[in-house]
Amino acid sequence: MRNAIEDQGRQYATVARAITFIRSHARRQPSLKEISDSLGLSEFHLQRVFSEWAGVSPKRFLQYVTKEYAKQALRCAGDLLSVTLEAGLSSPGRLHDLMVSCEAMSPGEIKTMGAGIEIRFGSVPTPFGDALIAWTERGICHVAFLEEGTKDKAVAALWKEWPAATFLQDEQRAMQLAVAIFSATPSDQPLHLMLHGTNFQIKVWEALLSVAPGELVSYSQLAHMAGAPKAQRTVGSAVGKNNIALLIPCHRVIRETGEISNYRWGAERKVALIAWEAARAATSSGTTLESD
């Protein structure tokens, strides 16, 4: 399984470059040949990379990164949210397909800056490049994507967040967690998260857990889901403070216009995450986009 994830990680470098080209030429919807030429690859090779990495063709993947698709996804989310709110519920309350559960750290634990807590960590390959994963005996507390050459900086930032904690490197367990997190088929074993944040931030992150893979919400929709419809700016700040990439899916939040806004781990990676999940969701449900 490690080799499969490593292969996907290498393929992601090509996918990210393709996304950069696609986004910069989005208005005219570049052809497969234009994209492959820009990367110095053959059409056949690019087709194979996308088919293996995303499970769909480059043409289909291109549809998932358009503003039109994003707007359609927001409309669907709006319909769901309106029905939910009419029913008197604060959020859709869907079960996450990875069976994620979570608990917040106590104010006392936060105040002591991790004293008495053992945090294990490891840097491992993922389908979106390398990632730093950290966890305690109570759950995963950190998932951060890494750019080339940034591992030491990322580890130092983790230590700074918990200066009194004990840190142990454990690459083998980190790889096991990566397999569970990024597996093509959801695990039947729940993944537990340990959240470190303010009460409001945790409320926003818990609302994010109800946004299913392949779905998107706007900041205003998320604010309603978190029970704070007038606090969009504060909600946006909470989204940006998320330290557990993918599992707390802050990448599923976009602007009302359908634009893919900034992402702390890179805009191209956010686009890749959205399209990758949309492709998997469509494939598993047997659905297709309205246009081919």
- pLDDT tops 70 at residue 111: yes
Give the closest residue to 115 by CA, choosing from 158, 167, 164.
164
Sheet holding 131-136: strands in order across? Answer: 100-104, 191-195, 139-145, 131-136, 118-124, 166-169
- pLDDT tops 80 at residue 12: yes
pTM for the structure as a whole: 0.85
Structure confidence at residue 286 as a pLDDT band (50, 70, 90): low
Q: What is the pLDDT of residue 126?
A: 94
* CA gap 170, 193 in Å, rounded: 18
Lowest-confidence region among 95-109, 158-172, 194-208, 259-273:
95-109
Is beta strand 191-195 parallel, antiparallel or unpaired with respect to 166-169?
A: unpaired
Pick the CATH number of 94-260 from 3.40.640.10, 3.40.50.150, 3.40.50.300, 1.10.10.10: 1.10.10.10
pLDDT tens string 186-214: 556 678 999 988 889 999 998 898 888 88
- pLDDT tops 90 at residue 132: yes
pLDDT tens string 53-106: 888 888 888 878 777 778 887 887 766 555 444 444 444 444 344 457 777 777
Sequence ranges of the domains in the chain: 1-65+262-292, 94-260
- pLDDT tops 80 at residue 154: yes
Catalytic residue numbers read: 250
Q: What is the pLDDT of residue 96?
A: 42
Return the higher-pLDDT residue of 99 and 48: 48
